[in-house]
Amino acid sequence: MLHILLQSKVLLSLMTATGLLGILCQIISNRCCRQLIREAADTQPEKGEFMKRMRYRYQIDSRCCQGNVNIPVFVQRMLLDYRYRKLTLHQWRRMAAGWYLGSMAIAALGCWYNQAQHNQADLMLMLRMAAAVTVVTALTVLWCDSRYKESRLTVQMQDYLCHSGISADISNTGLDEWKEEGTQAAMLAETGKKKAAKGDSRAERDKRQLQESLARMKSGERETAAGTEKDWGRERNREILKQMDAKEQERIIREVLAEFLA
């Protein structure tokens, strides 16, 4: 099996396939950059999916930071988070480099095997094929020019955020609305706390009344007017418990009984 894998034709096929996969990954990365550049340069109000997502996230960050957003950092984060086929642009480029290194490793293995077998013809063929894969890969990298495209994309995204009117709209109108919404939310939260405090005080009052009723039933008053006091206490307790929800009834009865039986 090892002898079959180390044959020159098999190694040549593997080396060529891995080299082509690396070139394909580089082309996919370049295609993603070109598509994002077209979206950022589009003057139409309806942008592509990536620009819509960036605008939405910028609005959310502006709301959280009260309009003080570091635009270069925000743009870099958007590019780092962008995914095509579940892979980021950096991962596509790293995969391209990995496939190329794998191709060169296969070429080195083929050269070593052919030299050990003293097969000069296959050795020269392997060297020429490795050189061809390297030249094509280098030409693809130069043609893609990923660094320039990424810099151009970054500048266009920053220009869109700074000069398209979105920052001014958010800072002038949206921020005031968000502040008003925050004030209303704070007022609602304060009202909820007050209601909760009132609910707690009412629950404490009902609990105290139940305790007083049970205490009277337990004291000497029960001996003098046992029947009247017991009926009144039961009726009063029943009316109090009807005004509560099920959870509050269960909690208060459990606490009262625990204190009563202690």
Q: Which of 164, 182, 205 is the last residue of a domain?
A: 164
Position 200 pLDDT exceeds 60: no
228 lies in the same domain as 135: no
55 and 151 together in one domain? yes
CB count in 10 Å sphere of residue 70: 11
Q: Is residue 21 part of a domain?
A: yes
Residue 21 CB burial class (10 angstroms; 0-12, 13-18, ≥19): middle
Q: Do 208 and 136 reside in the same domain of the chain?
A: no
Asked if residue 188 is part of any domain, the answer here is no
221 and 101 in a single domain? The answer is no
Same structural domain, 27 and 131: yes
Residues 29, 121 share a domain: yes
In this predicted structure, the answer to whether residue 46 has a pLDDT above a threshold of 70 is: no
Q: Which of 119, 139, 164 corresponds to the end of one domain?
A: 164
Q: What are the pLDDT digits (tens) for 80-123?
A: 889 888 899 999 999 999 999 999 999 998 888 888 877 888 88
Residue that wins the pLDDT comparison between 66 and 13: 13
pLDDT at 225: 46
pLDDT of 19 reads 93
Number of folded domains that form the chain: 2
Do 254 and 210 meet the contact criterion of CB atoms below 8 Å apart?
no
User: Which domain does 136 fall in, by range?
Assistant: 2-164
In terms of domains, do 80 and 123 share one?
yes
Same domain flag for 35 and 102: yes
Residues 6+ apart with CB under 8 A from 129: 12, 15, 16, 107
Task: Assign 201 to helix, strand or coil.
Answer: helix
Residues 208 and 106 in one domain: no
Q: How many CB atoms lie within 10 A of CB 103?
A: 25
